[in-house]
């Protein structure tokens, strides 16, 4: 395993300069962003080809929409500091510094996207797609940007997770409480991107699952299944696309059912037991819900777990929460897509020195960054 600092310093490599590596080289001459200053780029192996034209980087980042910056949630911050206009400079500097080829953002306000973010990203060489959550009081959605020198957008589609849930649950006999799953505004934004250098297409899904409370784990489970089914359906209509990436804010910890479903294709017995104990759920209720999962679906790998052996310690931190909720998953037929590196995370202690959102951390989430290699 090779480890680089995501700044102008290299560790564990005796003679190489960081400018020999394209990801770091891109940031040379650009001021190191405080939120990245102590984060390391960790490579999956010593033999990985980090200079290939077939390599690309991807970021997933919940940027904290204005509609969620309630003073009661962040009492340690002046309300003016919470507004997106105050945080935009820091956010844009992070995006510019990381220099990723694909950027998947969650909690993007439509006005912020149209008037500020999209024009700024165009100046940096990106095109973007935005989709707003439906019939929701919270004015935000998902945005996916891609570098036009690396990718060409061939198609995009928006999936409404509430509608997919209705389809999934249509044959259940327990119909009296389906609105719990179907009356939801959450979306999945799917883009079909053609990689310029390799001529390969990649399906990228950017999503943000519902939060509301830890107790609606079952809703997030159905939404995760909805994302998987949407990707399976989309791939059938684009059979030439052998690689998929599913990323975003899943509002789900690695010990929860939705995470299990994505990476295992089923709910593990240890997870069922945890749900039973922590949420006081009857096992028969769990089994009833699991009947909806008895369908052939895709199993994904976690980019961070493949490289680090574990998910990040923290992706979301404020005065109350300190958890991992964000992920970059990928799926490939054969070996046509390989994760080569990720950018590590900070400790809770390091983040609490400048409790997010702050001048150092412009969102209450940290951006995930992974690099992939497209193989023939």
Q: Please, what is the angle between helix 269-279 and helix 257-264, to 10°? A: 170
Residue 220 CA to residue 188 CA, distance in Å, equals 13
Q: How many CB atoms lie within 10 A of CB 194?
A: 17
Domain boundaries along the sequence of the chain? 2-370
* b (16+ CB within 10 A) / e for 4-40: bbbbeebeeeeeeebeebebbebbeeeebbbbbeebb
Separation between Cα atoms, residue 312 and residue 254, nearest integer Å: 10
Contact yes or no for 271/260 (Cβ under 8 A)? yes
Average pLDDT rounded to a whole number, residues 105-113 = 98
pLDDT digits (tens, 9 = 90+) for 316-373: 998 778 999 999 999 998 889 999 999 999 999 999 999 999 999 999 999 999 999 9
pLDDT at 271: 81
Beta bridge partners of 158: 189
pLDDT tens for 62-102 read 999 999 999 888 999 999 999 999 999 999 999 999 999 99
Q: Does residue 58 carry a pLDDT above 80?
A: yes
Per the structure block, which two tokens stand in for 270? 């240890």
User: What is the pTM (predicted TM-score) of this model?
Assistant: 0.90
pLDDT confidence bin for 274, thresholds 50/70/90: confident
Q: What CA–CA distance (Å, rounded) separates 227 from 223?
A: 6
**Contact, 70 vs 79, CB < 8 A?**
no
Tell me the pLDDT tens digit for each residue of 117-138. 999 999 999 999 999 998 777 8
Report the pLDDT value the prediction gives residue 215, as an integer from 0 to 100: 78
Domain 2-370 belongs to what topology?
Deoxyribonuclease I; Chain A (3.60.10)
């Amino acid at each position: 395993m090779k480890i680089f600092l995501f700044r102008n310093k290299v560790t564990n490599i005796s003679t190489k300069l960081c400018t020999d590596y394209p990801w770091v080289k891109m940031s040379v001459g650009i001021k190191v962003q405080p939120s990245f200053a102590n984060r390391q780029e960790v490579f999956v192996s010593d033999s990985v080809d980090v200079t290939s034209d077939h390599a690309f980087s991807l970021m997933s980042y919940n940027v904290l929409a204005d509609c969620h910056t309630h003073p009661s949630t962040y009492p340690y911050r002046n309300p003016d500091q919470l507004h997106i206009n105050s945080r935009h400079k820091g956010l844009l500097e992070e995006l510019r510094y990381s220099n990723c080829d694909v950027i998947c953002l969650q909690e993007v306000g439509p006005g912020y996207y149209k008037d500020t973010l999209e024009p700024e990203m165009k100046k940096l060489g990106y095109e973007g797609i935005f989709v707003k959550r439906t019939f929701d009081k919270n004015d935000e959605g998902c945005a996916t940007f891609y570098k036009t020198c690396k990718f060409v957008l061939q198609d995009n589609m928006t999936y409404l997770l509430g509608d997919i849930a209705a389809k999934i649950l249509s044959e259940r006999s327990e119909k009296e409480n389906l609105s719990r799953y179907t009356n939801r505004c959450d979306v999945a934004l799917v883009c079909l991107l053609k990689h310029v250098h390799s001529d390969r297409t990649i399906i990228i899904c950017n999503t943000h699952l519902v939060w509301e409370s830890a107790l609606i784990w079952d809703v997030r489970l159905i939404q995760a299944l909805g994302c998987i089914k949407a990707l399976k359906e989309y791939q059938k209509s684009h059979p030439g696309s052998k690689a998929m990436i599913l990323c975003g804010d899943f509002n789900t910890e690695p010990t929860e059912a939705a995470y299990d479903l994505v990476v295992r294709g089923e709910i593990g017995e240890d997870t069922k037991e945890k749900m039973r104990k922590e949420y006081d759920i009857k096992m028969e209720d769990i089994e009833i819900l699991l009947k909806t999962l008895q369908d052939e679906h895709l199993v994904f790998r976690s980019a961070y777990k493949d490289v680090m052996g574990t998910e990040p310690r923290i992706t979301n931190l404020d005065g109350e929460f300190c958890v991992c909720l964000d992920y970059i998953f990928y799926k490939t037929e054969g070996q046509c897509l390989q994760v080569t590196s990720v950018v590590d995370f900070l400790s809770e202690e390091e983040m609490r020195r400048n409790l997010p959102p702050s001048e150092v951390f412009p969102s209450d989430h940290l951006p995930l960054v992974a690099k992939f290699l497209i193989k023939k």
